[in-house]
Amino acid sequence: MLFSILCRYISCSLNEPVKTKMPQLNLEFQVYKLLGATNALHTMNGIPKVFHYGLAEKKYNALVLELLGPSLEDLFNICNRKFTLKTIMMIGIHTLRIIEIVHDKGIVYRDIKPENFVVGQESMKNTIYIIDFGLAKSYIDQITKKHVPYRERVNLTGTARYMSMNTHLGKEQSRRDDLESLGHMYMYLVLGSLPWQGLKVNNSKERFQKIYEIKKKTPISILCDGHPEMAEYMNYVRRLGFNETPDYVYLRNLFITALHKNGFEDDQCFDWKDKPLNSSKT
């Protein structure tokens, strides 16, 4: 069984707070390596810095990342489960930029959820990071260097609440699925809950099926009622082809438009700016 042990300590050699995650993390390390996070000069916003990967206590593989702050889910709760439209639109702009970076490296993330986006420690709590690449997968064939072929009847991967319609149907995931999952996450933050939450079901298979049925029956116009930019976002990502390259600039501009329309700018002053943050993630 895959498991993780998390512990905070001060690295004597680096003199920086870090998190250690063990074991069996070679795949995740390779993703971080591909993203440049193992480079000593790594400064890419949104991708945690990797300090070390290797054997710990002669027993475990350990992946040591920079110590980060609470997740978007934690922050949502800290803010009494109510984010302003400004904060949600800025979350959209910044998480889209992060996912574009991941996609540009040939990786599809496959587990979008608020728990997997965190902010930095106090001095960096206006910076959003993505963590936990355990379910990530390359969408570029390593031999042909082309997009992997479309497949059906693949195992469901991800979190049912946020996964795309095509993922529910057992279709191979690609960039479009990450973007649709982001859309579901944004609407979760807008509404506080999604129409397919809180179901009374007997097992996970039934739950996945029921969630899919409700997603299918919920028109985008109803899900995104009162939020035209979000409706436009969802309509766009659900129309994307399997190997189509998304227009990330167009999608980010939807959120920028929503900000400007309501008299705001992307100043990275999120709702949690003045909240004390004492949770940490890796």
CATH number for 241: 1.10.510.10
- Residuewise pLDDT in 10s, the chain (282 residues): 233 444 444 344 555 555 655 545 778 888 888 888 767 656 667 999 888 888 777 777 788 888 899 999 999 999 999 999 999 999 999 999 999 999 999 999 999 999 999 999 888 899 999 999 989 999 998 888 999 999 999 998 999 999 999 999 999 999 999 999 999 999 999 999 999 998 888 888 889 999 999 999 999 999 999 999 999 999 999 999 999 999 999 999 999 999 999 999 999 999 999 988 765 554
Q: Do 150 and 34 fall within a single domain?
A: no
Domain residue limits at 33: 5-66
Q: Do 22 and 101 fall within a single domain?
A: no
Q: Do 56 and 144 fall within a single domain?
A: no
Active site residues: 111
User: What is the model's pTM?
Assistant: 0.89
282 is a domain residue: no
Q: Do 77 and 61 fall within a single domain?
A: no
Q: Do 142 and 229 fall within a single domain?
A: yes
Q: Do 34 and 128 fall within a single domain?
A: no
Cα–Cα distance measured from residue 165 to residue 122, given in angstroms and rounded to the nearest whole number: 37
266 is a domain residue: no
Q: Do 13 and 88 fall within a single domain?
A: no
275 is a domain residue: no
What is the end-to-end Cα distance of the chain in Å, rounded?
Answer: 20
Q: Do 253 and 169 fall within a single domain?
A: yes
Query: Could you tell me the CATH number of the domain that includes residue 62?
Result: 3.30.200.20
SS (H, E, C) the chain: CCCCEEEEEECCCCCCEEEEEECCCHHHHHHHHHCCCCCCCCCCCCCCCEEEEEEECCCEEEEEEECECCEHHHHHHHCCCCCCHHHHHHHHHHHHHHHHHHHHCCEECCCCCHHHEEECCHHHCCCEEECCCCCCEECECCCCCCECCCCCCCCCCCCCCCCCHHHHCCCCCCHHHHHHHHHHHHHHHHHCCCCCCCCCCCCHHHHHHHHHHHHHHCCHHHHCCCCHHHHHHHHHHHHCCCCCCCCHHHHHHHHHHHHHHCCCCCCCCCCCCCCCCCCCEC
- Domain count of the fold of the chain: 2
143 is a domain residue: yes
